[in-house]
Each structure stands twice: as structure tokens, then as C-alpha cells.
Structure 1
Amino acid sequence: MKIVVVGSGYVGLVAGTCFADIGHSVVCVDSDQKKLEKLRQGVMPIYEPGLDDLVARNHASGRLSFTDELGSALTGAHAAFIAVGTPPRATDGHADMKYVHAVAHAIAEKASGDLVVVNKSTVPVGTGDEVERILLSARRPFRFSVVSNPEFLREGVAIDDFMRPDRIVIGSESEWARKVVSGIYEVERLSEAAILHTSRRSAELIKYAANAFLAMKITFINEISDLCEAVGGDVRHVAHGLGLDSRIGSKFLNAGPGYGGSCFPKDTLAISKTARDHRVQLHTIETVIQVNDNRKRAMALRVLDACGGSVRGKTIAVLGLAFKAHTDDMRDSPAIPIIQALQDFGARVRAHDPEAMENAAKLLTNVTFCEDALDAATDSDAVVVLTEWPEFRDLDLGQLKAVMAEPLMIDLRNLMSEDAVLEAGFTYCCVGRNPAGPHGEKQLLAAE
């Protein structure tokens, strides 16, 4: 089939490239000329493992192309996927739908035949109805049908998630549209994937509900980690015990500095706002949002506690800036408020991240960005682990200690081997448990 994907950001580029790799003819449409030219040259606008090779292979084969001409792209197309951003509005936190609506108007104007329009963007309930209204109000002599097909991609493993999904949700009241979208995914090749056909509004809600639930799971284990510290438990053991329950599962039960990224912060806020508009109070989700925001500031206070109550005049090495490993995404990363708070308390910050420093430099000021972890740690009074990059776990701890002014490690991801860190002579502080210091003393960080 011929597919048009409007928007070449994270979702659109991954989806379009994977559709091409399945065997479809895909045209990615974007208004950013510089981005398009870089894509044609094989330069990715985002960091996602394996994406550059996949784009290059499918572009070379002719199955994947890039343009800013929507009209020509739509000629002969069976479906057009809308994959543009829906950021929270600064005024009220609602998802900003202006980009989705603009694409819908453009498709209505430039379509040249019957077309299934697929909302791939994360959108509030009822967006499909509005997109359909826009298409039909153009009074074009074509058949339009709007489908909600939410994405469930995890940054860092997005290609595998797309090619081997645990479910594909197709929300539509049109049998024609269902068949087209099912054909695009070639559902017969996905025998283990759950193909869920729902109403359009149910599909829109599934995406928000899923992200809100996962955000709640993260926030829950973070609060349990505070309780573990207070009573002498170990959050790793508690999380493992919880995860063995098939009703709960082990994913998203790693204690840390709070969730961030492109989805959870904006989607929890959006579903909460949508609920209020419909006179429904989502107390649980609203609490999750508040607890997560508070936790990020509390993590900075933990660094202060570990440094003896003050970081004024001290140098703090931060390892990891992206909201999670294997991505360069800085959106709502816990590193941002933590670093800013440390600077407010008078600390000098040196930082390293394998992929996110260019994006971080746009959001943080007065931070020294370093070539590697050892460079960041040089002459530092403490090293703080903020992102779970595997290379940080594999650091030569002897070398790390040798370049530091003080051997203090504050591991807010529980990434490092406690025994190895202590054996190397560090004082080790983490979350959800109370490890011993270099001389056997307990490092108890007060729960914030």
C-alpha cells in the first residue's frame, strides 16, 4: 500500500520507516526543510538505536521518501497517518491540538481520492470526531474515514516495539477503515500480537489510560522506596516480590528520581484536564502528578543531605541527563529540576551524557558539559547518577575515585553494584535502601 505519514518526529519517523521495512511505499511529510534534507542524507533528528540504518536501507530501496509537498504525497495514497506533536498548552495544560487540526485541514484540501486518515498522535478523547468533521466539512467528492491508532513505543527500543508489538489498537466505526489499517500492519504476521478493534473514542482513551497507569506504577514504587529507607527495607527486594505477582508484573517498578520524557508528564496532565472538562475527578492521577513533581526537587535535597547539608561552593558531577537511557530526549527529564536546584543551592555542576548533551545545553545554563564520566568527575565533591546508561555501571571505580576530590557517590537510579562501589572506597547513597559507607557506617538518607 501507499502510506503518507505527516510529521517526521519520533513517532512519525519510526512508524513510517517501519511501515516501509514491512514493504509498503511510504512518504514522510514535514514542513521543516532542514530536517528533510538531513533525513535524505541519513542524519537522524533523534537518537534511537538502529533507526539510522533502517532509514538508510529503506530510503535507498525507494520504499521511503521525504517531502514537504503534501498534495503530491497524497496522490494514490491508501492512508494518511497524522503524527504531529500535541504538547501541553502553557495556559492550562490541555493538549494543544492546533497541529493536528492544521494537518486535517490540509489533508481535506489536498486529498485526491478516498482516504483513511489515521490519528497516530496522542490526542484527547473526541479528537477523531473533530478531525472527521474537518474532513467532511470540506465537501470533497471522496470517502474519508478517521481511525484512532495510538502508538505504544518505548524510546530506546522503539523499532522492536513496532515490529513485535504486544498489541495494536484500531479504533473505528468503519469496516472499510478497519480493513485498510489491518492490511497496513499485515496482522497475519503478528500472530502473537493482540489486534484490538474498538470504537474510536475507546482507542483514544486507551493510550492516555495506559500511560497514566504506568506513571502511577513508577510513582508508587518511588513512595515505597521512601518507606523502605524509613523502616530498613530494600526496595529492590520489595519490587521483585511485587513483580512476581502476575497481576502486577515487574516492569516500571524501579525506584528513581521520578518519571519524565515525551509521554507520561503531558499525558497524565492531559487526561486529568479532560476528566475535569467532563466533571470527573481523577484523584489518583492528580496525586501521581503532584508526587512526581515533588520527588524531583526532593532528589536535590537528598544530594544536599549526602554532602553534609550544603553544596555551596562544591562541584557536583552529574552522570546522565536524558530522562532514560538509550535516548537523547530531555523533555521533562528529572535532571533539569535537580541540576537547577543544586545550582540554586550554590553548587557548580559538571555533567556528561552519552547522547543528550546537545539537547541539554538548550535547557540548562552554567553547566560544564564533559567528554566522558571521568572528565565530569574530575575534582568533584560528589558524583550523582541520574540516568541508567549501562556505561556508567561499567566504569572503572578505581579511576573514578582517583580523579575525585571526595569519594561520594549518590546513585538515584540504583544502577551501580553496591558491593563494588563500597569496595572501591566510596561512600554510597542510593534510593530505597541504606547501604554501608566505606567504614561500615550506614548512609541513611531522610525521606523527602
Structure 2
Amino acid sequence: MKISIIGCGYVGTVTGVCFASFGHDIVFYDIDEKKLDLLARGESPIYEPSLEDLIQKNRQRLVTTSDLTAAVRDTDITFICVGTPSRDDGSIDLTYILSAGATIGKALRETPDFHPVIVKSTVFPGSTEGPIRSALEEASGKQAFVDFGLGSNPEFLREGNAVHDFCVPDRIVLGAGDARTMRALGDLYASFACPKIETSIRTAEMIKYTSNAFLATKISFANEIGNLAKKLGIDAEEVFAGVGLDNRIGPAFFRTGIGFGGSCFPKDVRALIAGAGDHHETLQILHAALRVNEDQPLKLVQLLQAHIPDLKGRRIGILGLAFKPDTDDIRESRAIPVIRALLDAGAVVVAYDPLAMESFSKIFPEIEYAPSAQAVLTADAVLITTEWEEFERLNYSGTTVIDGRRIAAASKTADIYEGVCW
């Protein structure tokens, strides 16, 4: 099948390259010429382990274009993978996806055959059949579900594991409003052996939001229990090892620490809350999950101040700036509120991350960036905010460590060690 991918960010690049590895021909489109140039040279516009190797192996199946009309006209199916950022009130901004929809609609005028348009971007339930459908129909002069297809195929990609998650998924969700689009999606994913859910477009959209909201809530719940367990002299890891063996609950995402960040969980929970508000529903559990997550990283600073009450002029090290290991993504990184609190207290901050220092320096140009993790250990105290594997190889002797990510080497070798929930 020949597939056009609209948007070469995280989701679009991974989706297109992985589809190519399954034998499909891909046409990438993006308004950012730099991303297209990188892909054309066989390089990845994003950091993701093993993705660039996959690009090199499938270069003959990957084409780039700055002509969106041609991308749609010359392919069998189109995936919309553009960003849906948050507005100030937490709701999603559909500006990019509606702009893409209008241009795709113009291309559909020149497409005589039935052409499915699949939304892979994360949108609130009703968005695809509402404003996105309207943009496509108005620009094309055609009717969705009759003259062209419309569907939803949400992604469940973890940064740092995205290639594996695409190629070996635990489930695939296919939402369509007509039989031809569902058949096209079924054919596209025919070789995948995992469970496949065929459902309505709105249900597919809701599955995505509900999955992320539940996982985010599970993390906040674990942290609330972990905060109490620490005060009771209990290690929360042992608690959740026991709780997770209940097959009604499961062990995943019960790792206590300083909370969740990234491009998905915070944004999607806020969007679900905002969208529910438009329908006069208050999602109280999700409001609480966000409050816990906002407070949790600041517990690092509170624990630090139990050892160093006055932080003014003290040199405090930060290990980890990315929101999680194996990515350079700093969106909603838990290091951000920690560093802000340290600076507000007058501390001098020195930080290290294997991948994220360049992008982080755009937010905090005033802090010092160390050449290595070892160099951070000369600070008066060290806070660990991302669980990079290399931090397990450090010797923390002579150091005061406040750990937000449970680095075993720190707990064994630091002179003074405290974990957030242990």
C-alpha cells in the first residue's frame, strides 16, 4: 500500500518508517523543510533508539515532499499526524490539524478513487467527525464516508520504545465511519498478530484518552501511597510488589517517584478534563491526579532542605533533564519545577543529561551545564530527576543525594541518601 504521512514529528516519523519496514511505500509531508531534508538524507528528525537504522534500511520506500496535494493524490491512504497542542485552559488546539484537513480536502478534489483519511493525532472524542470532517468536506466538495473515508487510529507509542511499540503492539484500535475505510485499515494491519479493536471513531478517540488518563492516575495514586509509606517507615516498592500481584490490578506504572511528564500524559489529562467541562462533567479523580503530580517533584526540594535548610548560594546538582530516559524530550520534565524552586531559593544549579541539555538551556540559560554526570557529584547535594542507566554506574560516595527515581547505586554509595517515597 502507498501511504502519505502528514506531519513528520514523533508520531508521524515513527509511523511512516515502521510501516515502510512492513513493506509499504511512504510519502512524508511536513511544513518544516528541515525535517524533510533530514529524512531525505536518511537521518531521523527526532531522537528515538533504533529509528535511524530503520530509516537507512528502508530508504528506498521513503519519499519526502513539500507538496501536500501531491502526497495525498498519489497515495492510497493518508494519516494525519500533526500536533494538537494545549491551549491555556487545557483544551486541545486543532489549528494545525484543521489546516492540514483543508489542504487534504483540496487534494481529494483531484482524487477520483475512494481515499481514506485517518487521524492518528490525539484529539478529543467528536473532533474527527466534527470540525475535522467539516474542514475536509468544505475543501473537497465531497461527502465523508461516501466519497472519501474517515477514521481514527490512535497511537500508543512510548518515547524510547516507540519502534518496538509500533511493530509489536499489545493492541491496535481501528475506528471508522464506513465499511471501506475499516477494510483498508484491516488490510494495512493484517500481518499484526495482536488483538484488534474495530469500533466507531469516537470510541477509538476515547480509548486513547482513557488509556493515558488511567496510567497517569495510577502513577499519582502510587505516589500518594508512597508519600505516606515513607512517613511510616515503609518502602512503597515492596507495597506495590504485593499489590501488583493481584491480577485485577497488575504491577505496571506503580513505580513511585516524582511523577509523570512528557508530551502525552499531562496534555491528555488536561484535555480530557477540559472537554468534559464542555459537557458539564467534572472529572474529580483526574483533577486530583494532576494536583498530586504538580506537587510531587517539589518534595525533592523539601527533603533537600531538611539537610540544607538555607539553599542560598549552595551548589546543587541535577542529574537528568529529559522527562524520561532514552529521549531528548523535555516537555513537562519534572526537572523543570525542581530547578525553578531551587533558583527561587537562591541555589546555584549545575545540571547534566546525556541528550537534553541543549534544549533545556533554552528554558534555563542561567544554570550551569556539566560536561559529565561525574562532574555534578562535586556539588553540595545532588537531586536525581531522570533514571538514565549511566547514573547506575556512578560512585556517589562523599555526596548527599535526594533521589526521585530510585537509582540503586546512589542508595548504596552516597554518604547521605533519601528517596522521595522510600
The alignment's C-alpha RMSD in Å is 1.5
Cα distance in structure 2, aligned partners of 1:267 and 1:173? 24
Partner of 2:213: 212
3-state SS, counterpart of residue 117 of structure 1: strand
Cα distance in structure 2, aligned partners of 1:181 and 1:21? 17
3-state SS, counterpart of residue 246 of structure 2: coil
Instruction: Quote the offset at 1:304 in angstroms.
Output: 2.1
Partner of 1:442: none
3-state SS, counterpart of residue 292 of structure 1: helix
Partner of 2:405: 413
- AA aligned to 2:420 is V
1:166 aligns with 2:157: no
Partner of 2:155: 151
Normalising by structure 1, report the TM-score: 0.90
Instruction: Quote the offset at 1:407 in angstroms.
Output: 1.9
**Is the CA contact 2:36–2:65 (under 8 Å) kept in the aligned structure 1?**
yes
Partner of 1:79: 77
Cα distance in structure 1, aligned partners of 2:410 and 2:2? 53
- AA aligned to 1:83 is C
3-state SS, counterpart of residue 169 of structure 1: strand
**Is the CA contact 1:211–1:268 (under 8 Å) kept in the aligned structure 2?**
yes
Instruction: Quote the offset at 1:17 in angstroms.
Output: 0.4
Partner of 1:42: 42
Partner of 1:390: 389
Moved more, 30-39 or 334-343: 30-39
**Is the CA contact 2:392–2:410 (under 8 Å) kept in the aligned structure 1?**
no
Q: 1:190 aligns with which of 189, 192, 198?
A: 192
Unaligned runs of 5+ in 1: 434-448
Normalising by structure 2, report the TM-score: 0.95
**Post-superposition, which runs of at least 4 consecutive aligned residues in structure 1 deviate over 6 A?**
none
1:430 aligns with 2:419: yes
Partner of 2:128: 128
- AA aligned to 1:101 is L
Moved more, 35-44 or 209-218: 35-44
**Is the CA contact 1:409–1:429 (under 8 Å) kept in the aligned structure 2?**
yes
Moved more, 284-293 or 69-78: 69-78
**Is the CA contact 2:299–2:420 (under 8 Å) kept in the aligned structure 1?**
no
Partner of 1:443: none
Instruction: Quote the offset at 1:419 in angstroms.
Output: 5.8
Cα distance in structure 2, aligned partners of 1:430 and 1:15? 38
Instruction: Quote the offset at 1:38 in angstroms.
Output: 2.1
- The C-alpha deviation readout for 1:210-248, integer Å capped at 9, x for no partner, is 100000000011111111111111111011112111111
**Is the CA contact 2:220–2:293 (under 8 Å) kept in the aligned structure 1?**
yes
Cα distance in structure 1, aligned partners of 2:11 and 2:231? 41
**Is the CA contact 1:47–1:355 (under 8 Å) kept in the aligned structure 2?**
no
1:201 aligns with 2:202: yes
Unaligned runs of 5+ in 2: none
In percent, how many aligned pairs have the same letter? 41
Moved more, 128-137 or 94-103: 128-137
**Is the CA contact 1:262–1:331 (under 8 Å) kept in the aligned structure 2?**
yes
Partner of 1:15: 15
Moved more, 118-127 or 364-373: 364-373
Judged with a 3 Å threshold, the aligned counterparts in structure 2 of structure 1 residues 418 and 365 are, in CA distance, closer, same or farther, namely closer
Instruction: Quote the offset at 1:296 in angstroms.
Output: 2.5
